[in-house]
Amino acid sequence: MSTFLPYGRQWIDEDDIAAVAAVLRGDWLTQGPTVDAFEADIARLTSARFAVAFSNGTTALHAACAALGLGPEDEVITTPITFTASANCVRYVGATPVLVDIEAKAATIDPARLEAAIGPKTRAIIPVHYAGQPARMEEISAIAKRHGLAILDDAAHALGATVGGSPIGSGRFSDMTMFSFHPVKHVTTGEGGAITTNDEKLRDALRLFRSHGITRDPARLHAPSPGPWYQEQILLGHNFRLTDIQAALGRSQLGKLERFVARRREIAARYDALFQPVRGVEPVGRLEGTEHAFHLYVVRIDFAGLGKSRAEVMIALRERGIGTQVHYVPVHHHPSYADRGWGPGSFPVADAFYAEALSIPMFPAMQDADVDRVVSALVEVLGV
């Protein structure tokens, strides 16, 4: 039987293992110099002034919302086509998420609908760079500036992507940007995340929040320090720290980012060409002025028109050694958001997208023959 192809997976080499082993043999397993070096690497690669590492992307989003000072009187706009963390982070600080429908072409938040959703309580926007396709950040940034809103872009999928020639995470169009280092992402730390920003005050707020809200900084202490042991908890933070073990893996992986992203783009181009003549299957569109990072390769399949259910297609592909996934169950479909008054039908473009979306294998270790095999199997299963 052919090797099973998951929809995504990490690529770990011996040099990655050696980097981790070196930290394990050293003096610092956490709160040490490797985390600082990893943050510097992220900032350099994204052209940002600062990067702050976190235990995962969700905690990074939570900390960013706290750093913005969001609270119970505030609303934050995001998209229904995302992992729930993009909306949950707003709720973690007591604020209210407001969803805005996507545009059909690229499944990113629709700027044409965005401005109409802004109200007197709106404080921030969380655009999501879906699948590695940057949202329309120039338009979103212009809207945010008109209304005095902060932008925290969710770039969990988009490390290595660009908008208008600028790297996602550079801060050109946003106040903060979140990245994820889960194993299926472009580079991995096992679990991990980061926020990039150009604002020193936001950086300091992020660092404080990720480490219990505790500081030794004499300028921030409420009482004079009686000695070198002294520290104060000045706000209710969390332990959201990344370890030096994880940071060592991340540093090694970041050295391969350019190669990984280039290969993802080659795979996407091959998929594009092979799907061109296939009836009922359409790759999700791309936006001009951007470079896609292809965390995912998502196709829209006319399941109804082809007389197939998505479940049976996924099961049949798995039987042929091919893993697939659906990204995502829309935020407004989840029972934990039922009290918001949303449900299926609330966001028709997102619902239409969800009904047809399927993520097929996309990871840099794939060979051209693997891409051909995925397409051939999908054509066979769909009968087209």
| DSSP assignment letter at 288 | T
Q: In this structure, which long-range contacts are made by residues 338-341, counting pairs with CB atoms below 8 Å and at least 24 apart in sequence? A: 340/97
Q: Give the Cα separation of 186 and 256 in Å (integer).
A: 9
Q: Give the Cα separation of 24 and 36 in Å (integer).
A: 17
- Partners of 179 in beta bridges: 194
Alpha carbon distances (Å) from 302 to 179, 244, 286, 353, 372: 32, 46, 19, 10, 21
- Closest to 67 (Cα-Cα) out of 217, 235, 193: 235
Q: How many helices and strands (H and E) does the chain possess?
A: 13, 15
> Around Cβ 272, how many Cβ atoms within 10 Å?
12
State the catalytic residue, choosing from 105, 121, 185, 201: 185
185 is catalytic: yes
Q: Which residues contact 273 (CB under 8 A, 6 or more apart)?
A: none
Q: Which residues contact 55 (CB under 8 A, 6 or more apart)?
A: 191, 192, 193, 210, 239, 240, 241, 242
Buried/exposed code over 75-101 (b: 16+ C-beta within 10 A; e: otherwise): bbbbbbbbbbbbbbbbbbbebbbbbbb
Q: What residue has token string 């106040």?
A: 175
CA 17 to chain centre: 25
**Which amino acid type is present at position 175?**
D
Which segments of the chain are extended strands (E)?
A: 50-54, 75-78, 96-99, 122-125, 150-154, 162-163, 166-167, 176-180, 193-197, 214-215, 232-233, 281-283, 290-291, 297-301, 357-360
Question: Are 337 and 331 a contacting pair, CB within 8 Å?
Answer: yes
Catalytic residue numbers read 185
